[in-house]
Amino acid sequence: MAEGNGGATGEPVAHRTRGALEELPRSTTITLHQTSPGNVDNLTWSATVNLPSSYLSPTPSPDELIIRERGRRSLPIEWSPIPIESPIKRTDKTPIKRSPTKGLIVLRSSPRKRLQLSDASPKEILESRQRMMQMSPILKKCRSLTVSPAQSPPEVAIKGLSQNQLVEVLSHVLNRHPELKDEVSDILPQPDLKEMEEKLNLQKKCVFKSLPISRLTSKTDSPAYNKAAPHLASFKRTLLEQCNQLVEAEQWVSLVDYSLLAWSYVRATPIWDSQQHNSCRRTCFKTLAQHCLQGLKKVNWLPERLESLLKKVEQCRSDHDEMQPCVDYLRTVLSNQV
């Protein structure tokens, strides 16, 4: 391309430019094919256009044509084990996939898997399901889990039982062997009061931990009682449960010892400014005094033991008047023995 005067005439030459990315025109070729020589009528025209391959629709496979001819399948209103056939029976079958050979183009097709329902009655289907469940590996695993493990020695296995289970085991053994009752009675130890004392002491500590720490606030007024009230109720509940446990076991000697032991813990609880708030304290004293009197009447005490009990009971009387019947009973028994 040149710019300026051109030729002898001096006329300017026009600029001829083209875009850098201008699309080139596509050539269209038309070919003519003749199927048989000498026959002019059997001419086939074919136009080949230079278009991308994605613009041309591919020819459908035989499987796709068969699927299109089937149409939509009507759905049943209610489920039934009897298969519902299509209103139009088709004789066409899905072509069988064969191994590729030379010169043949094998179409890759994945035939749809359909549920094949037989013309069996519901009863037969239910029986077949039960048979399959019996042969199921899941049931076999569950059965293997129910096999009883190796039994441990009785003296080891008894450690995992609760108190009610131990009572049932012992009663069952004594019923089968009545001759062992005297031997078991001689072996049975007295109830361990140390464990009961630890539980009661823990409840008492919780009561004092709930009280305010500041020196500027009172530890016996109504706000302090409101903080300690839940722990006082727990303390009272623990004391009643332990007393009832000894009464049900008919351990009268241990019941008297526990009543005198728990009396000191009840005495250590706070005395509140309001008399209404001291109702829990009075209830505990009254309960212990009643159980102590019940235990004293059930046992034939020795004189030495009665004298030591009388000294302890007289000390407890200063805390609450409910212990006075115990003092009177012990004095009466001592006077009768003399």
pLDDT, tens digit, 9 for 90 and up, residues 218-254: 889 999 999 999 999 999 999 999 999 999 999 999 9
Q: Of 299 and 112, which is predicted with more confidence?
A: 299
- Are 168 and 265 in the same domain? no
pLDDT of residue 116: 52
* Tokens read off for 132: 């399959």
Q: Of 6 and 174, which is predicted with more confidence?
A: 174
By mean pLDDT, which of 181-185, 200-204, 252-256, 295-299 is the weakest?
181-185
- Are 171 and 264 in the same domain? no
- Are 278 and 221 in the same domain? yes
Q: Is residue 289 part of a domain?
A: yes
pLDDT of residue 199: 93
Q: Is residue 276 part of a domain?
A: yes
Q: Is residue 255 part of a domain?
A: yes
pLDDT, tens digit, 9 for 90 and up, residues 62-75: 888 887 777 666 66
Rounded-to-integer distance, Cα 206 and Cα 305, Å: 35
List b or e across 27-40, with b for residues whose CB sees 16 or more CB atoms inside 10 angstroms: eeeeeeeeeeeeee
Q: Which domain holds residue 178?
A: 156-188
pLDDT category at 59 given cuts 50, 70, 90 is confident
pLDDT of residue 228: 93
- Are 184 and 197 in the same domain? no
β-strand partners of 32: 45
- Are 184 and 222 in the same domain? no
- Are 196 and 184 in the same domain? no
**DSSP E strands, 125-223:** none
Q: Is residue 270 part of a domain?
A: yes
- Are 198 and 288 in the same domain? yes
Query: What is the overall mean pLDDT for the chain?
Result: 75
pLDDT of residue 267: 93
| 254-276 average pLDDT score | 93
pLDDT for residue 3 is more than 50 = no
Q: What is the pTM of this model?
A: 0.54
Q: Which DSSP helix (H) or strand (E) runs through 30?
A: strand 28-34
pLDDT of residue 331: 92
Say if residues 258 and 246 touch (Cβ distance below 8 Å): yes
pLDDT for residue 329 is more than 60 = yes
| 277-285 average pLDDT score | 93
* Exposed/middle/buried for residue 84 (C-beta within 10 Å: 0-12, 13-18, 19+): exposed
* Tokens read off for 326: 């115990």
pLDDT for residue 30 is more than 60 = no
Q: Is the dihedral of CA 8, 9, 10, 12 positive or negative?
A: negative
Q: Is residue 206 part of a domain?
A: yes
Q: Of 144 and 198, which is predicted with more confidence?
A: 198
pLDDT of residue 6: 46
- Are 204 and 229 in the same domain? yes
pLDDT, tens digit, 9 for 90 and up, residues 116-163: 555 567 777 778 777 776 665 554 555 544 445 557 788 788 888 888
pLDDT of residue 68: 77
Q: How many domains does the chain have?
A: 2
Rounded-to-integer distance, Cα 297 and Cα 252, Å: 9
Task: Give the list of residues 6+ apart from residue 253 with CB closer than 8 angstroms, or none.
Answer: 190, 295, 299
pLDDT of residue 149: 54
Looking at the chain, the number of H-run helices and the number of E-run strands are 12, 4
Q: What is the CA radius of gyration of the chain?
A: 52
pLDDT of residue 126: 77
What percent of the chain is modeled with pLDDT above 70? 62
pLDDT of residue 71: 66
pLDDT category at 43 given cuts 50, 70, 90 is very low
